[in-house]
Amino acid sequence: SPTQVGTALQVFYNLGTLKDTITNVVDGYCSVLEENIKNALDIKVLTQSSQTVTRGGPGRAAMPTPGNTAAFRAALWTNMEKLMDQICAACGQVQHLQKLLTKKRDPISHVCFIEEIVKDGQSDILYKFWTAVTQTLSSQFQSATDSSMFLKQAFEGEYPKLLRLYNDLWKRLQQYSQNIQRNFNTSGSPDLFAELQQMEEDAQDIFMQKKQDYDPEKALKDSLQQYEAAYLSKSLSRLFDPINLVFPPGGRNPPSSDELDSIIKTIASELNVAAVDPDLSLAVAKNVAKTIQLYGVKSEQLLSTQGDASQVIGPLTEGQRRNVAVVNSLYKLHQAVLKVVTSQNSFPAAAEETITTALKAVHDLMGSAVQPLLNSVGDSVEAIIITMHQEDFSGSLSSSGKPDVPCSLYMKELQGFIGRVMSDYFRHFECFDFVFDNTEAMAQRAIELFIRNASLIRPLGEGGKMRLAADFAQMELAVAPLCRRVSDLGKSYRQLRSFRPLLFQTSEHIANSPALGEVIPFSIILQFLFTRAPPELKSPFQRAEWSIARYSQWLDDHPSEKDRLALIRGALEAYVQSVRAREGKEFAPVYPIMVQLLQKAVSALQ
C-alpha cells in the first residue's frame, strides 16, 4: 500500500534514519535471495527430495543414484521455478520502494526523500539491488555447477528450459513495472495521489529501458553464458553425428531416404527446442547452416568428375548414375529443410536468412554437379545444328510446290538426340523444376544457334526456302522435350516464330518488318540479306576468311549489336571498293536496302 509505506518512510525521515533503514531493507532482500539461491541449488537437499536415502558412510558424496536422475531433475526444476518467483517478489518490493522514494516529499521542508539517499552518490536503489542479485546468481551458479556434475549436466543439457525461466522472469518484471502505477492510482489517499499523479510519465525504471552503459537483461543472462556455449556445442554434435554416420570414409553412395529423414528430424528437433528464445534460435540456426554445409561437402566428395560423367554417346555410366543420386539427395535435403523452416512459428528473420543462405549453396552445388553434362549436351546440339551447312538449300521448287522431305537430315538428328538425352539422362533426376530451369536455357541457346545458322545459308533457292521453313516448324518440336512449354521460352520462341515468314518476303518488306530490332536483332536480318546478294557481296565471315564455326564463336564472344554491326559495315564497305575497283556501274539491288537498314540499326542503338 503506497499510503502505509509512505507513512513509514515519513516516520524514518523524521527520526533521521531513512537512509540507513532503506540500506538495511535492500541489503536484507539481497541476503534472503542469496540464501534462496543457495538452497535452490543445494545438491544435498535436491538429492534427498528426489530419493529416500539410506544413511551413507562418512564422506559419502551427495549425488543421485543412477536410476533417480529424472526425479533429481524434476526437483531441480521445481526449485528453479520457486527461485524465479522469489526473485520476482523481492524485485517488486524494491521497485515499489524506489517509486515512493522518488515521489514522496517531506510536507514541511519539501525535501524529496530520494535526495536523502543520494548523499552517498547512490540514487538508484533498484539498480544497486539488481546488480547485487545478478552477481550473486552468476557466482552461486558457477560454484554449484563446479562442484556438482549433475547440476552442470542438467543446466547444459536442458539449457533452453533454464533460458525460458529467465525470459519469463524478465517479462514478469517488465509487466510489474507497468502494474505498480495502476496500484498507486487505485490505492492511496487523495493527497498522495496528487503527489504521485505525474508518475505515469515517469514510469520508466531499469526494467523498462536500458541505461547507456548497462543492460539489465544482459546482466541477468550473463550467468547463463557458459551453459549456452556447452549446449550449442552439444547441439552441433547432435546435428553432425548422423551426417558423419551416413557418409562413411570411402563410401560411394549418398544417404538413403530413411537416413536423410533422420538428419531432417534432428534439424527440426534442434530448431523446435531453441524456439523459446530468438537469440538461441539464431545460434542454433547457425549450427543448422554448418550442418547443411557439411552435407554439401560430403556430397561433393562423392561426385564423379571423370570424362565419363559428361559423355552423351552411350547409356548412363556408373559415374553419371552416382551424380544423379547425389543431386537427388541434395534436392531432397533442400526441400525438407525449407519445409522445416517455413513450419517454424515466429522464426527470427536473421535465423531464416542464415539457413536460406546455406540452402542456396546446396542449390549451387546441384548446378555445378550437372554442369559438365549440360555442357556436353549443349556442345553436341551446336555441332548438329552447324551441319545444316553441309546440306544443299540451293535447289528450286519441285513441280508439286512442296518440299520433297518433311525436314532436313540435321533436324531429324537433332530431334532424335534431344529426345534420347532427356530419356537417358535427365529423366532420372527427381528435381524436375531444377532440371527444366537448366534445360530451358539450353533450348533458348539451341534456337539462337538455329536462327543464326539459318540466316547464314548461301545460296538459298526457292526449294531450299520451303525446306528451311519446314525446319523452323520442326525446331519447335525438337526443343519441346527440354521445356515445360515451348511458349515459355520467351524471346527465343518469338524470334523463331517471327523469322520464318521473312524467308518468303521481299527485301523491302523485310526492311520494314515490325519484328526488326524489337524481336529479331538487326544484325541477324542483315546477315540474312547477304544470301540475296551476288557472290561479290561477301558475308562478313567470307570476307574475313573464317569458317562458319569460327564466325559463330566470334558472335558468342561479341554479344553487343555495336560490334556485330561494325563487322557487317566492314563487309558492305569492302563490296563498294570491289565494285569501284572493277569500275562497275551499279550496286546489287539489295545493297541500298542493307545500307539503309544498317543506318536504322545504328541510330536505334543511340
Give the single-character DSSP code of 209. S
- With CA atoms as reference, report the closest residue to 534 among 590, 600, 478: 590
pLDDT band at 186 (very low <50, low <70, confident <90, very high): low
Distances (CA, A) of 99 to 3, 507, 528: 13, 93, 89
Give the single-character DSSP code of 473. H
Cβ-contact 387, 452 below 8 angstroms? no
* pLDDT value, residue 584: 86
* pLDDT value, residue 585: 87
DSSP 382-420: HHHHHGGGGS-------TTSS-SSSS-HHHHHHHHHHHH
pLDDT band at 391 (very low <50, low <70, confident <90, very high): very high
Task: Determine what percent of the chain falls in helix, strand and coil, rounding each to the nearest 5.
Answer: 75, 0, 25
Integer distance in angstroms from the first to the last C-alpha of the chain?
A: 83
Count of Cβ atoms closer than 10 Å to residue 49 Cβ: 16
* pLDDT value, residue 200: 41
Cross-strand bridge partners of residue 504: none
- pLDDT tens-digit readout, 424-471: 999 999 999 999 999 999 999 999 999 999 999 999 999 999 999 999
Domain residue extents for the chain:
2-51+67-183, 228-365, 391-504, 508-605
* pLDDT value, residue 198: 46
Higher pLDDT, 107 or 408: 408
pLDDT band at 240 (very low <50, low <70, confident <90, very high): very high
- pLDDT tens-digit readout, 26-82: 899 999 999 999 999 888 878 776 555 444 455 545 555 555 778 888 999 999 999
Report whether pLDDT(195) > 50: no
DSSP 534-601: -TTS--HHHHTT--HHHHHHHHHH--SHHHHHHHHHHHHHHHHHHHHHTT-S---THHHHHHHHHHHH
Give the single-character DSSP code of 200. G
Residues 280-307, mean pLDDT to the nearest whole number: 95
Cα pseudo-dihedral 414, 415, 418, 422, rounded to 10: -170
Report whether pLDDT(503) > 60: yes
Cβ-contact 507, 590 below 8 angstroms? yes
Higher pLDDT, 240 or 203: 240
Count of Cβ atoms closer than 10 Å to residue 62 Cβ: 15
Angle between helices 409-424 and 349-386 (to 10 degrees): 150
Minimum mean pLDDT range among 73-77, 277-281, 400-404, 470-474: 400-404
Share of the chain above pLDDT 90, in %: 68
Share of the chain above pLDDT 70, in %: 89
DSSP 32-68: HHHHHHHHHT-HHHHHHHHS-PPP--TT------GGG
* pLDDT value, residue 111: 75
* pLDDT value, residue 55: 47
Write 316-319 long-range contacts (CB < 8 A, 24+): 316/424, 316/425, 316/428
Cβ-contact 159, 245 below 8 angstroms? no
Global pTM reads 0.82
Cα 333 to chain centroid distance, Å, stands at 14
Write 148-153 long-range contacts (CB < 8 A, 24+): 148/43, 148/63, 149/63, 150/43, 150/63, 150/64, 150/69, 150/72, 151/41, 151/43, 151/76
pLDDT band at 11 (very low <50, low <70, confident <90, very high): confident
Report whether pLDDT(197) > 50: no
Distances (CA, A) of 134 to 87, 156, 200, 224: 10, 19, 28, 11
Integer Cα distance of 527 and 600 in angstroms: 15
Integer Cα distance of 241 and 158 in angstroms: 19
Q: What is the SS3 assignment for 308-331?
A: HHHCCCCCCCHHHHHHHHHHHHHH
- With CA atoms as reference, report the closest residue to 99 among 26, 2, 168: 2
* pLDDT value, residue 520: 95
Cα 304 to chain centroid distance, Å, stands at 27
- With CA atoms as reference, report the closest residue to 574 among 528, 532, 542: 542
Fill in the amino acid letter for 332.
K
* pLDDT value, residue 409: 94
- pLDDT tens-digit readout, 322-371: 999 999 999 999 999 999 999 998 899 999 999 999 999 999 999 999 99
Residues near 591 by beta carbon (within 8 Å), at least 6 away in sequence: 533, 537, 572, 575
Report whether pLDDT(505) > 70: yes
Integer Cα distance of 286 and 264 in angstroms: 15
Cα 322 to chain centroid distance, Å, stands at 27
* pLDDT value, residue 201: 42
